[in-house]
């Protein structure tokens, strides 16, 4: 934490943010790692410390293996549309949704209508003491069987 908040780190990060709009965009259709993207656009220290912590907290994944396009689509698209993450973030004209995004929204809306029809014809059941009641009953029943050996919390 001390390294993250150090003056040196903050100054390097600030200068990277100021420089970012002048960094050349990646080649079209290049899908790089989250780490690679932030290292290229900003700097490796920012990618290693700040972005890595963020990704570990959200995705519990490795920034050097996760796809930038899949993980941070909107930031990835800012570079594609505006040539810069900073320019995209401050733009008053949001980029239009891609054909893929439009198709996805249409599919979700159509599926939601179908799902609502199904839900309206269905019944909802729950357990008084929660879903754990089901597993507790299964464990109790299985423990009474002479031909069953039950192992719980095993690794």
Q: Kindly state whether residues 22 and 91 are assigned to the same domain.
A: yes
Residue 140 has pLDDT above 70, yes or no: yes
How many domains would you assign to the chain? 2
Round to whole Å and give the CA distance between 57 and 19.
27
Residue 99 has pLDDT above 80, yes or no: no
Residue 26 placed within a domain: yes
Please report the DSSP string for 78-118 in residue order. HHHHHSSHHHHHH-SSPPPPPHHHHHHHHHHHHHHHHHHHH
- Prediction pTM value: 0.57
**Domain range for 17:** 7-95
Residue 43 has pLDDT above 90, yes or no: yes
Q: Kindly state whether residues 67 and 41 are assigned to the same domain.
A: yes
Residue 2 placed within a domain: no
Q: Kindly state whether residues 114 and 74 are assigned to the same domain.
A: no
Give which of 53, 14, 35 is closest to 6, Cα–Cα. 14
Query: Hey, what's the torsion of the CAs at 9, 12, 14, 15, to 10 degrees?
Result: 180
Which residues fall within 8 angstroms of residue 152, CB to CB, at 6 or more apart?
139
Decide: helix, strand or coil at residue 151. coil
Q: Kindly state whether residues 33 and 83 are assigned to the same domain.
A: yes
- Compute CA distances 35 → 40, 67, 132, 139, whole Å: 8, 9, 40, 45
Q: Kindly state whether residues 82 and 111 are assigned to the same domain.
A: no
Q: Which of 95, 114, 132 marks a domain boundary?
A: 95
Q: What is the pLDDT of residue 2?
A: 54
Residue 55 placed within a domain: yes
Residue 154 placed within a domain: no
Q: Kindly state whether residues 89 and 126 are assigned to the same domain.
A: no
Residue 51: other Cβ atoms inside 10 A: 18
């Amino acid at each position: 934490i001390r390294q993250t908040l150090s003056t040196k780190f903050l100054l390097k990060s600030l200068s990277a943010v100021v420089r970012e709009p002048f960094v050349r965009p990646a080649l079209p259709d290049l899908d790089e790692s989250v780490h690679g993207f932030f290292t290229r656009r900003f700097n490796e220290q920012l990618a290693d410390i700040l972005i890595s912590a963020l990704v570990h907290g959200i995705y519990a994944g490795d920034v050097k293996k996760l796809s930038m396009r899949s993980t941070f689509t909107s930031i990835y698209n800012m570079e594609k549309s505006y040539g810069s993450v900073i320019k995209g973030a401050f733009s008053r004209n949001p980029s239009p949704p891609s054909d893929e995004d439009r198709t996805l929204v249409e599919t979700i809306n159509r599926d939601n209508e179908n799902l609502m029809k199904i839900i309206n014809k269905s019944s909802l059941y729950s357990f008084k003491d929660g879903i754990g009641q089901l597993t507790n009953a299964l464990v109790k029943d299985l423990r009474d069987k002479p031909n069953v050996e039950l192992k719980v919390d095993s690794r």
